[in-house]
Amino acid sequence: MKAKKLLSVFLAAAVAVFGSSGALAASYDEEDERNQRILSLRYDDISAEVENASTDLSALEGAISGINSTIATLNGMLDSVKDDPIQTAAIQSNITLLNISRQNLQSSLSQAESAQDQMVISVETLFISYNSLEDQRDELRRSLTVIDANLRAAELQNQLGMMTDHDLAVAKQNRFTVTNSISMLDDQLRLMGNSINVMIGRVYDAPLRIMELPELTEDEDLDINHRRDMEDAIAVYNASSDMALEQFKVSYESMYRDVEQKERLLELEEENLVLAQQTFDEQKARYDLGMLSELGLITAQDALDTQKASVKTAETNLFTSVKMYWHAVEDGIIVSS
């Protein structure tokens, strides 16, 4: 019911965008073809797609409503993964990204003159969040391998009288919780895709494929210079007062430090991955010698894969921080988290 209600919101927003013949530069046939074809959306194409779209405030309101629903769903999932710090952190990270997107959409509503730049940033943060949620869903799917292996062992222990029926039921419930979370993420990914469609001027259910995040270029990641970049940012920032300018400097400083922090965290996770790989190699050698069970090997593989996922999360966080930093430098737009 909630998903249907949200879809109706997206539909209403789409009607608002495309309902007026004067709002479209392309002919009906051209627009119909655009909505029928599969769009493989790359991060680097977002700006061009937004520029080509004819989007009004009704679409922004519909997108905000959709994001509010997604945030509410993710908040509801936190309790089901409260014992898993990695999943909890991943959900909280996505909620933060969605809040960023919502804040920028709300700013677009009040400052129509900068709506296009704000829309680009909002689509970018949704795009990043979509990729992050996909990674989280894939991680949950992968975790089912370990859960199923443990469940088979639990069922055998139960048959041998070594585990109570209650403990077995808890193990089965754990699997149900994970599969339910996967299903919820599938729904939210679909709805986020609908929201992105509307924000780039397509009907909400037009075929859409969200591509993977690109790698940061050397210029983006290495050509960061505090003094020079602050001067560039101030030059493009339209300060309404001296106080506003000083606050902008504070915000810029925070974003600069955030990039540094995200770089250090990525380095730490990459170092942890080296150790995790070494640990797995040792466990694999023990397994090959018959000194470790298959379940033990699966558990070791799970620990390695979990660390790989942590590295990817750190990469995504750095990507987000760097991209938002350059929006401040080049566009004078501060994206608050």
State how far the alpha carbon of 49 is from the alpha carbons of 1, 165, 264, 335, in Å. 31, 56, 34, 21
User: How confident is residue 14, by pLDDT bands cut at 50, 70 and 90?
Assistant: very low
Residue 113: pLDDT over 50: no
Residue 323: pLDDT over 50: yes
Quick one: three-class SS letters along 86-125?
A: HHHHHHHHHHHHHHHHHHHHHHHHHCHHHHHHHHHHHHHH
Helices (H), ranges, the chain: 2-18, 28-36, 46-52, 57-78, 85-110, 115-159, 165-199, 218-222, 226-236, 242-288, 294-331
Q: What pLDDT was estimated at residue 214?
A: 94
Whether 85 and 36 have beta carbons less than 8 Å apart is answered as no
Average pLDDT over residues 270-293: 96
For residues 106 and 296, give the distance between their C-alpha atoms in angstroms, rounded to a whole number. 50
Q: What pLDDT was estimated at residue 110?
A: 63
Q: What pLDDT was estimated at residue 108?
A: 72
Exposure of 260 in the CB half-sphere (CA atoms within 13 A): 9
Q: What pLDDT was estimated at residue 16?
A: 37
Residue 52 vs residue 307, higher pLDDT: 307
For residues 146 and 126, give the distance between their C-alpha atoms in angstroms, rounded to a whole number. 31
Q: In sequence order, which residues have a C-beta less than 8 Å from that of residue 130 and are 6 or more positions away?
A: 189, 192, 193, 196, 210
Q: What pLDDT was estimated at residue 56?
A: 60
Average pLDDT over residues 211-222: 83
Residue 150 tokens read as: 């443990």
Residue 52 vs residue 169, higher pLDDT: 169
Q: What pLDDT was estimated at residue 27?
A: 47
- Report for 1-15, 20-34, 83-97: range of highest mean pLDDT: 83-97
What percent of the chain is modeled with pLDDT above 90?
Answer: 50
Average pLDDT over residues 314-318: 94
Q: What pLDDT was estimated at residue 105?
A: 81
